[in-house]
Amino acid sequence: LVPQPKIESGLYLVATPIGNLEDITMRALRVLRSVDLILAEDTRHSSKLLQHYDIKTPKAGSQMSYHKFNEQTRQEEILERLANREALALVSDAGMPGISDPGAELVRACIEENYKIIPVPGPSAALTALIASGLPTNEFSFGESFAEAVGFLSTHASTRHKRLLVAAEETSTQIFFVPPNKLCSILAECASAFGSNRHCVVARELTKIYEEFWRGTLGKAQARFKESEPRGEVTLLIDGLPARAAERFPSNEELEDRLEILFESGKSLSEAVKEVSEETFVRRNSVYSLALKVLKKDKSKSEDSS
Q: What is the DSSP string of 214-230?
A: EEEEHHHHHHHHHHS--
**Tell me, what's the pLDDT at 149?**
38
Q: What is the mean pLDDT of residues 48-67?
A: 81
pLDDT given at position 146: 53
pLDDT confidence of residue 254? 84
Candidates 1.10.3720.10, 3.40.50.2300, 3.40.1010.10, 3.40.50.10490; correct CATH number of 10-123?
3.40.1010.10
For residues 245 and 243, what is the distance between their CA atoms, to the nearest angstrom? 5
Q: 219-239: b or e for each residue (b if 16 or more CB lie within 10 Å)?
A: bbbbeebeeeebeebbbbbbb
- pLDDT of 177 reads 92
Q: What per-residue confidence (pLDDT) applies to 75?
A: 93
Residue 59 has pLDDT above 70, yes or no: no
Handedness of CA 122, 125, 130, 134 (dihedral sign): positive
Please write the tens of the pLDDT for every residue from 89-141: 999 999 999 887 889 999 999 999 999 999 999 999 999 999 999 999 999 99
- At residue 303, the pLDDT reads 62
- What is the percentage of the chain residues whose pLDDT exceeds 90? 54
Q: Is the pLDDT of residue 220 over 80?
A: yes
Mean pLDDT score of the chain = 87
Predicted local confidence at residue 147, as pLDDT: 45
pLDDT of 225 > 50? The answer is: yes
Q: Where are the beta strands (DSSP E) in 100-250?
A: 117-120, 140-145, 173-178, 199-204, 212-217, 234-238
Indicate whether 247 pLDDT > 80.
no
Q: Give 281 or 275, the one with higher predicted confidence.
A: 275
For domain 126-243, the CATH class is: alpha beta
| 229-239: average pLDDT | 92
Query: Where do the domains of the chain lie?
Result: 10-123, 126-243, 249-305
The pLDDT, as a whole number, for residue 137 is 94
Q: In this structure, are residues 99 and 126 in contact, taking their beta carbons and an 8 Å threshold? A: yes
